[in-house]
Amino acid sequence: MRRLALTALVLVMAGCGAATEARSGAGGSTLDATWRDTTGSGELARAPGERLVDRTELAPRARPGVELARFGLVTDAHVRDEESPLRATFLDRLGGAYASTFRPQEALAPQVLAGALRALRREGARQIVEAGDLIDNAQRNELDQALAVLRGGEVDPDSGAPGYVGVQDAANADPAYYRPDVDPPQHRGLLQAAQRPFRSPGAGVPWLPILGNHDWLVAGEVEPTPRLDRIARGGWSVADVDAEEALRELGTTEPDPQAIDRVLARGLPGRQVAIPADPTRRLLSRREVVGRLRAAGGVPGSGDALDYVTDLGPRVRLIVLDSDARNPTARLENRLRAAGDRWVLVASHRPLGQDTLALLARFPRVVAALNGDTHRSSIEPYRAPGRPGFWRIGTTSLADWPQQARMLSVRETGDGGVAIDTWMVDPIGSSLVGTARELAHLDAQGGRPTGEAGARTDRNARLPRGPA
C-alpha cells in the first residue's frame, strides 16, 4: 500500500489543468490567496485568502496602532539526507510513532525551506525565528545544507555519489514507497532534479535559531553513538526488514534507544544493499550543533544549551528557551524581570509545560508563547485568575501539509495593550516547491488526514491582549 492517497489516481486520470496549477511554485500571504482542495478530489487549486479572525478570549476587539515588531517563524523543516543509510524508512509501514520515517516529498525539504524564506522576505519580516528541527537526523551534511539555505547562495542537496540512491528508485519493488518515475502522480526525473544544486534567497534578515530534538538526536530519538556514526558514513543500508518483527524488538509505541542499540549490536538487520559512502554524514554532538547554530545565527550564549534573549524591537523582547536542556526554566524568572516594561514573547521548540506556563502568567508583559514540534497550527488563550493571560501559538511544519510558515506583527492598541496579527504564508519557488506541496497533501500519513493545518481560527487571526 503506497503512502499516497487514492485520490492521486483521480488527479492523474482527470488530466485537467488543476494538477499543473498545483505544481506551480506560487505562494505568499494566505491573506490574499492559498491552496485548497476545493472539490474533495485531492487536486489543489488556488483559492481565496483567509482574512484575519478577531479572537477575543483575552481582551475585547481592538484597533491596532503602531507596529512594534514584525517577524516570521519557520519550524520543523527537517532538511534531511534522504539517501543516508542511517534512515530506518522500513519502519514507516508500522504507522503511529514511526510514520515520519518516510515522506513522499522528503527529497525536496531544502527547496521548501528556501521557498518559505522567500515568502517571508516578501512579507517584510525584520527577523526570522527558526523554531527547531531544522534538520532531521543530526548529520553534519544536513546541517551544512540547511545553513546554506539560510545563508543564501548555492545549495548542493546531493550526498554520496552523484544522483539519487534510495527507496524511491523506480526499480524498487517494495510497495511501501512512492516512486515518482512510475507511480501516480508521476513526476519523471523528480529525484534527479531534487539532487541538483540550486540558489536560495537566504533569510535576508537576522535569523534566530531554536534547538529541536531532531537537530541533535538521530531520528529525533537517540543520542549519536560510535555504532550509529559508522552506519551513517558507511556503505551499506537496510533495504528490507520484517516490520512486525522490528516492532516487537523496538517497542510498541515510541522508539526505544536501548532496543535500537541491541539490534544494531548484531549488525544491520534484514536484507542489505550497497550505498555510496559519505564521510560528511558524520553525526554531530549536541555541543557541535548548538555551537554551529549559535554562530550562524549570531546569537549570544555558551555551553551546550541554546537559550538566549534578544530584542525584536525597542519595546518587544524575545526569550528563547532550549526545551531539551536540563531545567530549561532555571533562569527564566530573572530574564522575565529583566525585560522591564518591554512586551515579552517566549519561544521554544516543544510546547511549554504547565509549570512554565504558570510562571509566565505571573508576568503581565508576557503576550505570547511560541512553539514548533507539534507540526500543527494552533492558537489557544492561556488564562490565569487575576492576570491578563497570554496567547499560545503553534505553527505547522515545513515537512508536512500544509508546509506553511507564519508571520507575526506585534502592534500597540489604543487601550494601552497590544495585539498580535498573525497569518500563514505559503512557500514561493520553482515547480519543485509546488510538487512538494502536492505530494504532502496526498500523503496518506501526513498533515492533511491528521488536521495539522488547524482550524480557521488557528491560522490567520488578530489576538488582542489588554494592558499589563
Give 162-191 pLDDT, tens digit per residue.
999 999 999 998 888 999 999 999 999 999
Confidence of residue 208 (pLDDT cuts 50, 70, 90): very high
What cell numbers appear for 418 in the block? Answer: 497590544
Question: Distance between CA atoms of 235 and 84, rounded to whole angstroms?
Answer: 10
pLDDT, position 17:
44
pLDDT, position 382:
98
Mean pLDDT along residues 21-49: 90
Other Cβ atoms closer than 10 A to 467? 11
pLDDT, position 272:
77
Instruction: For 294, list phi and psi in degrees, rounded to 5.
Output: -60, -45
What cell numbers appear for 98 in the block? Answer: 514511526
Q: Which of 45-54, 221-230, 406-415 has the lowest mean pLDDT?
A: 221-230
Other Cβ atoms closer than 10 A to 186? 12
Q: Is the pTM of this model over 0.85?
A: yes
pLDDT, position 13:
37
7-465 homologous superfamily: Metallo-dependent phosphatases (3.60.21.10)
The model's pLDDT over 130-167, given as tens digits with 9 standing for 90+, comes to 999 999 999 999 999 999 999 999 999 999 999 999 99
- With b for 16 or more beta-carbon neighbours within 10 A and e for fewer, the 355-384 pattern comes to ebbebbbebbbbbbbbbbbbbbbbbeebee
User: Burial level of 307, CB count in 10 A (0-12/13-18/19+)?
Assistant: buried
